[in-house]
Amino acid sequence: MLKPLLVTAALYLAAIGLALLVVPARFGVGAVPEDAEPELLALLRLLGGPFLGIAVLNWMSRNSSPASIRNTVVLANFVGFAVVAGNDVWGVLSGEARDLARVFLLVHLAFALAFGLAWARAGREPDRTG
């Protein structure tokens, strides 16, 4: 179950990272003004880098055998997706988020739940690294 989750998260985060880097205004439709200042677009592009970095981390960890490394990656994904899902919930409930946030809320919540479940299961598995 963990390998498909890491691969899916890697592909999702890579898509978000590339969208932020290549087409930040289009990706931010409904949140970024059409006449966005270059500084705002530069900030959005800046955020694309960490998304791509986490995507690579997930991709490279998909076949990882040392439990301590794999579990660290799972926990980091759980925390990241849970925080983002919490932000999405706040934005949707307060009405401050764009309409598309409802879709992202479901995606981020699903990832948070999946990584949370994987983290909980990892805590019950013996560490076979020695």
Task: In whole angstroms, give the CA distance from residue 34 to residue 27.
Answer: 11
Q: What is the pLDDT of residue 65?
A: 75
How many Å apart are CA 13 and CA 118, to the nearest integer?
Answer: 18
* CA dist list (Å): 53 to 35, 73, 90, 96: 29, 12, 26, 29
pLDDT classification of 126: cutoffs 50, 70, 90: low
Q: Is the pTM of this model over 0.85?
A: no
CB atoms within 10 A of CB 4: 10
**Residue of 86, 117, 121, 129 lying closest to 104 (CA atoms):** 86
Supply the pLDDT for residue 94.
94
Interval 58-102: pLDDT, tens: 999 998 876 778 889 999 999 999 999 999 999 999 999 888 889
